Structure 1
Amino acid sequence: MGYDITRFQGVVDEDLICPICRGVLDDPIQAIDCEHAFCKVCISQRFTQQHTCPVDQSVLIFDRICPVPRIMLKMLAKLMISCDNAVYGCRVVTRLDNLVAHFRDCEYNPKRPVTCDRGCNLVMANDELPQHNCIKHLHFQLEQQQKNISELEKISAEQKKQLVEQKQDLRDLKAYMRVLNMRNPTFQQDEIWQWVYTLQPAKVTQWDCIISTPDAMLKVVLRRSLVETGCPTSFVNQLMENSQEHKWPQGLATLEMRQMNQHYYENYVTRHILGLQAVLMMAYENQHMDENMVREPGIIIMFGHGVEDLLDA
C-alpha cells in the first residue's frame, strides 16, 4: 500500500500515485506493455482477482512486470513527507528516502529502543518504559537463569552418562579383540609375534630415567637396532612413532602422570631391545593393564640406564 498523500508537502505528480490505492507509490513496479506503475503490494493483491490494468484495462502479464525507471525512483526520493510519528508530536518533515532512518531514531517513535536508567539497564521499546518494573524484570531474569542452569545440568549429566557408557563399550571391545587375538590359532604364526618372542624379557629398575623425546642420534640407533633384531619392516615405523612422549598412552604421557603412576609400571610386561637401554611394551602382552597405560599395538621407551634382562636380574 502507498503512502497517504496528505503527508506530503506540495503537489505530488500524478505519475507517482498508485492507481489502485491512490497513495504515493511504495516499492513501485511497472507494467512493461502499458507503462503504468503500481505499488508492488497493490498489484500483487489485484493479481489474485483479475489480470487487467486498473487504468486502461489492458491485459497484465505477471512475467512482464519490472522495476520502474531510475528517474521515477529519484523523483519519489525527493518528495518531502511528514514523520510517521506526527500523531505522537513529531514535527519533522524529511525526504522520502530518509524516512526509514529518521523513523528508527525519532524521539517520538513508541517502538524506539531505549535503555532503562532506573537500575536494570534493560533495553525496551519506548512505549513500554512507563510500565516497566526493574525488580520484576530482575526476578524474571533470575528465574530464567536458574531454569537454564538446571536444564544445562541435566544435559551435562546425561552427556556424562553417555560418555561413561561409550568408554566402557570401548574398553569391552578392546578386551574382546585382545582375547580373539590370543585365541586365534594363526596369530602366533604372525611375523610380528614371532619377532617379539625373540626379544629377551626385561626388568626396569629406574623408571625415573625415561628419555621422553629421543634426539636424532638415538632415533637412528633405535631404528638400526630394530632392523638388526629382525623387526618386520612394516612395523618399524609404527614403533619409531610410538617411542616419543606425545604418542604414549595417558598414563605415561607427561612427567606429572609418570610420577603419579610409577608404582604401576612394575606390572608391565617388557622386552629388551638388544644393545640399548630400551624396552618394548606390546599391547596384547599387557591386556591386564588399565587402558590408559596401553597403546596399540605397542610402545618403545628408552632410558638413561636401569634396563636389565629379566633372566639376569
Structure 2
Amino acid sequence: MGYDLGRFQGDVDEELICTICGGVFQEPRQVSPCEHCFCDECIQEWVKHQQTCPVDRNPITPSSLGPAPRILRNLLARLKITCENEQFGCQAVVKLDGLDSHLSQCEYNPKRPVLCEKGCGLEVPLDELPDHNCVQELHKVINTNEKRIQGLEERIQEQDTCIGHLREEVSILKELVRSFRTSANGIGTPDETERAIQTGRWLASLKPAKVKRWGGMISTPDGVLQNIIKRALADSGCPQHLLSELMANAHERKWPPGLSTLETRQLNRRRYEQYIAKRVPGRQAIIIMASDNEHMGESMIVEPGIVMVFAHGVE
C-alpha cells in the first residue's frame, strides 16, 4: 500500500501516485512492456487475481514486474513527508528516503524498542512496556533458546552422521587401492575386495589418536601385553584377516627401517607428529595404517600397518 497523500508537504506529481491504492508509491515496481508503475504490495496482490495491467489491460505475469526507473525513485526520495507518529506528538518532516531511519529513532514511535529497567534487561516495544512481565518474557527467551539449541544439536548430529559415512567411504577406498596395489596381478579378487571393505569400515569406526608422549613408546611389548592389545582390537571389530598381521607388526623387529632401532627412532622423532593414527579402544596403543600414511614413505611404514603400544601419553 502507498503512502497517504495527506502526509506530504506541497503538491505531489500524479506520476508518483499508484492507480491501485491512490497513495504515493511505496517500493514501486514497473510492469513491462507497458512501463506502468505501482506499489510493490499492490501489484503483487493484483496479479494473484488478474493477469492484466490495471491501466491499459495488457497481459502481465509476475515475471513482468521489475524495478522502477531510477529517475522515479529519485523523485520519490526528494518528497517531504510527516512522521507517521504525528498523532503521538512527533512534528518531524523528513525526506521520504530518510523516513525509515527517522522511524527507528523517533522518540514518539510506540514500537520503538527500549530497555526494560525492571531487572530483565530485555528490549521491549515502548507501548508494551506497561504490561511487560519480566518472568514471563525470560521464560519465552529460555524456551526459544532451548529450541534453537535442540535444533542445532540435531543438525550437528546429522552432520556427524554424514561425516561418519564419508570417513567410512574414504577408508574403504583407501583399503581398496591398497588391496589392488598389493595384489599379484594388480586386480583385487572378490575376497580381497571384501576384506578391504571390512577393513575400511572398521577403521572408520575408530577414533583418531593423539600421542602426547612419544617417549612412552614400548617398542618390545611382551607376550602378555600383546595379548591384551590383540583382545582389545578383536573386541573393537578388527577383521580376523587383519588382526594377526597388525599384531605381528607390534614389535620393533617388524617395524620399518626408520623405527627398527632406538637410534633410528631418535633420528626420526621429529616426524612422529606427521603420522595419522587410530586409537586402540580403551588401551594406550595406536594403529598406524599404511593406507593412511603413504606420505610418510617406506622407511616409516609397512603393510598393512603398525601397532604401537605406550606406557602413557595417548589420547
TM-score (norm 2): 0.51
Give distance in 2, aligned partners of 1:58 and 1:181. Answer: 78
RMSD of aligned C-alpha atoms? 4.6
SS at match of 2:114: strand
> Would you say the 8 A contact 1:21–1:42 is kept in 2?
yes
**Paired amino acid for 2:48:** T
**Paired amino acid for 1:36:** H
**What do residues 123-144 of structure 1 show as CA deviations (whole Å, max 9, x unaligned)?**
211112222345x459x55995
Name the residue aligned to 1:75: 75
> Would you say the 8 A contact 2:28–2:67 is kept in 1?
yes
- Structure 1 runs of 4+ with >6 Å offset: 245-248
**Paired amino acid for 1:126:** L
**Paired amino acid for 2:257:** V
Q: 234-243 or 32-41, which moves further after superposition?
A: 234-243
Name the residue aligned to 1:253: none
> Structure 1 residues 293 and 55, CA, compared in 2 at 3 Å: closer, same or farther?
closer
> Structure 1 residues 41 and 238, CA, compared in 2 at 3 Å: closer, same or farther?
farther
TM-score (norm 1): 0.51
The alignment of Structure 1 onto Structure 2 pairs a total of residues equal to 204
> Structure 1 residues 238 and 128, CA, compared in 2 at 3 Å: closer, same or farther?
farther
Offset of residue 90 of structure 1: 1.5
**Paired amino acid for 2:127:** D
Q: Aligned runs of 1:136-151 on 2, under 5 Å?
A: 136=135, 140=138, 144=142
Q: 10-19 or 40-49, which moves further after superposition?
A: 40-49
Can you give the 5+ residue segments of structure 1 that lack an aligned partner in the other structure?
Answer: 160-165, 197-225, 249-286, 302-313
**What do residues 135-168 of structure 1 show as CA deviations (whole Å, max 9, x unaligned)?**
x459x559959x96xx99xx9xxx9xxxxxx99x
SS at match of 2:49: coil
SS at match of 2:81: strand
Name the residue aligned to 1:122: 122
> Structure 1 residues 41 and 180, CA, compared in 2 at 3 Å: closer, same or farther?
closer
Name the residue aligned to 1:40: 40
> Would you say the 8 A contact 2:230–2:243 is kept in 1?
no
> Would you say the 8 A contact 1:4–1:24 is kept in 2?
yes
**What do residues 201-231 of structure 1 show as CA deviations (whole Å, max 9, x unaligned)?**
xxxxxxxxxxxxxxxxxxxxxxxxx8xxxx5
Offset of residue 120 of structure 1: 3.5
> Would you say the 8 A contact 1:181–1:187 is kept in 2?
no
Offset of residue 10 of structure 1: 1.1
Offset of residue 292 of structure 1: 3.6
> Structure 1 residues 241 and 143, CA, compared in 2 at 3 Å: closer, same or farther?
farther
**What do residues 248-305 of structure 1 show as CA deviations (whole Å, max 9, x unaligned)?**
9xxxxxxxxxxxxxxxxxxxxxxxxxxxxxxxxxxxxxx9xx944444413599xxxx
Identity %: 36
Q: 41-50 or 115-124, which moves further after superposition?
A: 115-124
Give distance in 2, aligned partners of 1:109 and 1:81. Answer: 16
Name the residue aligned to 2:258: 237
Name the residue aligned to 1:52: 52
> Would you say the 8 A contact 1:30–1:66 is kept in 2?
yes
Offset of residue 32 of structure 1: 3.1
Q: Which has the larger radius of gyration?
A: 1
> Would you say the 8 A contact 1:83–1:103 is kept in 2?
yes
